[in-house]
Structure 1
Amino acid sequence: MSRSALKPPLVSILINNYNYENFLPTAIDSALNQTYSNVEVVVVDDGSTDRSRQLINQYGDRIISVFKKNGGQASALNAGFAASKGEIICLLDADDIFLPEKASQVVAIFQSDSDIDWVFTESAPVETSDILPNKLEDLFASIRSQSSVENLGKINFSKSILKGKLPDFTPSTSNLCFSHKLLGTLFPLPEIKGLSGVAISDLYIKILAVGLGTGYVSKENLGIYRFHNNYYKNLDLSKKRRMFGEINTTTGYWISKNFPEFRAISQKILGKGFATYLSSTYTTQQVADADCQAMLDDYLSSSSIFDRLKTTLIIFYYRIRLKFKNFV
């Protein structure tokens, strides 16, 4: 039986927030104001120190609120997933926005094929100064008029992942939607915080989802990616490399630990990540949970002689490349 013959599935929109009081209400409102009616909005506050929690409380039982100590993005996503009941899970960063038709469009794609496990869409990049609460409808209309409706269609990339090929169609967090069943095989995520709080991030989820399931990619802009002075934008090159190095080393390491069948892709991600980590001169004693050297050592200890040599060569290759680059 196709999904279209079943009752409308519940969609959980999972918002993770940390100190985004200026943007959070707009994100929550966009999730609540979907044209698709069978939606629950789960908002996880990851130990914010601003007024985020007071703002969340104002929504009462219109949303599912989860308040927790600061533990990083993976920790927040784990808490949100545990609180969600939807058959379809859509991720939304607290500084981004969904168009009103986002859930409806995503549900239609899921219902078109019972084999679909994930749906990736796109978001229009917009400066914060151009996002005016009383003119959102005008902004939405402008985005719709310029959005591409070209669809790349159904994708099964699992064989390529097994061979170590990275997908080039995986967008940012707020464009990711998954079946609850698929995420149930990935969660709980390893709760590694690292320098930025996102050592385990959407990269881990995207790679594994694409490797484990079949999905659909759409080029239609169904959201807004907000340009603003966020954490990453304000980092110098050395800190950016440290952050990138932690994310990729940690992602590669934990993919190899939890899904050893994807060793080829985990080796490539870890090798590139560790090379970038080595290229950073930034040091801190506050990210012991993202100890890249310890992860590499453990990874190599469980590798064959051939795999150790290959990993070392990958690290060497990216180290050389990074010497001639002024960016990550």
Structure 2
Amino acid sequence: MIINKQSSSLEESLIADNYPLVSILINNYNYAQYLSQAIDSALGQTYENTEVIVVDDGSTDNSREVIKGYDNQIISVFKKNGGQASAINAGFAASKGDIICLLDADDIFLPEKAAEIVNFFNLNPDIDWAFNESAPMQSEDIMNADLKATFKEIYNNNDDILTKKIDFRSNIINAELPNFTPSTSNLCFSRKLSKKMFPLPEERGCSGLAICDAYLKLIAVGLGIGCASKKNLGIFRLHQNNLYTTQDITNKRIIYSEIFLATAYYMRAEFPLFSKLAKKLFSKAFATYLRNKNKNEISNKLIQKYFDYLSFYEKIEVSCNICYFFLKLGFKDLV
């Protein structure tokens, strides 16, 4: 396999004859207006040993027509709507890569993304994950931009940005939360680690995001050593349909409680080693849920199922933690 001459300086840093297959998994639901730019960015990588897998999670817009237009340039997966976790599961099941890179359909990869990630893995053969950052841009600015020039500007601004090798496994066991875990489109995993994490629990919740990047990155950091870089290797699209970032504080709390109730339950169920962190996440999420004005049956079931895992003394401990976090949130949202 070869790498295009567009990134010759980066090519020289890659270990000779070590060009792993990189699978880029794009998950899409009703983002037809953004999807082509995501797919084009995945296909336009300077590192050529890639496969692009696009999963449509039962879209009701013209996403499927957009995907079909790429024919055999990509691997297409069409499925019934089941939430983000089920879409990522379908993408992983269809993949063959040694390295798995996730890309939301409304985001974009810089051309050097795959090459940089391969470089992280080649220079650190004992790592199992690699995280980077993305430059935020308003959607209208992206649509009107000269993307080639924009990519170049963002990438060149990465000069002298360090990448840190991190072993946070014992911290996760001791319920410490990492501060270097970015959003979905900045997450990359070795296949070895991915096999331990997938399939993800297909708990979609009311938002469709109950099991999402929060679960993935905490499990990944708990199971393996990795590299975290502040390099912007993509573009994070800001638009009115962002399911979390554009919400008001009330809706953010509703989504937050749902995500972390699900994350805590399945973390405890699937990875008992992280039970201490699961307690912390559950206590915060339940306290937030109690503050929410909108309750739902899905969250109620997760709460009950989580408590069923606990011993009598653990229930007392968690109940005390819930009270602490409830009071910490303040009294302004009392129901």
Q: Output one character per residue of 1:95-126: Cα deviation in whole Å (capped at 9) or x when no partner.
A: 00000000000001101122110000010011
Which residue of 127, 131, 145 corresponds with 1:120?
A: 131
Aligned counterpart, 1:194: 205
Q: 1:174: which partner in 2?
A: 185
C-alpha distance in 2 between matches for 1:133 and 1:10: 33
Q: What letter matches 2:164 in structure 1?
A: G
Give the Cα–Cα distance (whole angstroms) in 2 for the partners of residues 301 and 137 of structure 1: 54
Structure 1 residues 59-87: Cα deviation after superposition (integer angstroms, max 9, x where no partner): 00000000000000000011000000000
Cα distance 1:24–1:314, how it changes in 2: closer, same or farther (>3 A)? same
Pair 1:37–1:160, CA change in 2 (3 A):
same
* Equivalent residue letter for 1:248: F
Deviation at 1:130, TM superposition (A): 1.2
* Alignment of 1:297 onto 2:304: yes
- Counterparts of residues 1-328 of structure 1 (less than 5 Å): 4=15, 6-132=17-143, 135-147=146-158, 149-230=160-241, 231-233=243-245, 235-283=247-295, 288=297, 291-323=298-330
Contact 2:257 2:286 in 1 (8 A): yes
SS of the equivalent of 1:8 reads coil
CA distance in 2, matches of 1:246, 1:102: 32
Rate the CA distance shift 1:144–1:245 in 2: closer, same or farther, 3 A: same
**Deviation at residue 242 of structure 1 after TM alignment:** 1.6
Q: Determine if contact 1:123/1:222 at 8 Å carries over to the other structure.
A: yes
Residues in 2 aligned to 1:110 and 1:208: alpha-carbon distance in whole angstroms: 19
Distance 2:116 2:240 in 1: 30
Query: Whole-Å Cα distance in 2 between the matches of residues 134 and 152 of structure 1?
Result: 29
Counterpart of 1:305 in structure 2: which amino acid?
F
Q: Deviations over 1:221-262 (max 9, x none)?
A: 000001110233554433322211110000000000000011
- Equivalent-residue separation in structure 2 for 1:76 and 1:61 (angstroms): 20
Question: What's the CA shift for 1:319?
Answer: 1.3
Query: Structure 2: how far apart are the matches of 1:227 and 1:148?
Result: 25
Indicate the SS of the match to 1:166: coil
* CA spacing shift, 1:36–1:152, aligned 2, 3 Å: closer
Q: 2: distance between equivalents of 1:325 and 1:159? A: 37
- State the 1:278 CA deviation: 1.6
Structure 1: how far apart are the matches of 2:144 and 2:117? 25
Q: Give me the CA root mean square deviation.
A: 1.7
Alignment gaps of 5+ in structure 1: none
Task: Report the AA paired with residue 301 of structure 1.
Answer: D
Q: Give the gaps of 5 or more residues in structure 2.
A: 1-13
Identity %: 52
Could you say what secondary structure the match of 1:245 adopts? Answer: helix
Given that residues 166 and 225 in structure 2 are in contact (C-alpha distance below 8 angstroms), is that contact kept between their aligned partners in structure 1?
A: yes
Letter in structure 2 aligned against 1:84: S
TM-score under structure 2 normalisation?
Answer: 0.91
CA gap 1:139/1:149 in 2 versus in 1, 3 angstroms:
same
Task: Name the aligned partner's letter for residue 99 of structure 1.
Answer: L
Say whether the 8 Å CA contact 1:274–1:292 is kept in structure 2. Answer: no
Aligned residues: 319
**C-alpha contact (below 8 Å) 1:43/1:65 kept by paired residues:** yes
Give the whole-Å Cα distance in 2 for the aligned partners of 1:122 and 1:246: 25
How far off is 1:156 after superposition?
0.4
1:175 alignment partner AA: N
Separation in 2, partners of 1:197, 1:232: 11
Distance 1:10 1:304 in 2: 45
Which has the higher mean CA deviation after the structures are superposed, 198-207 or 310-319? 310-319
Distance 1:193 1:166, change over 3 A: same
* SS across alignment from 2:78: strand
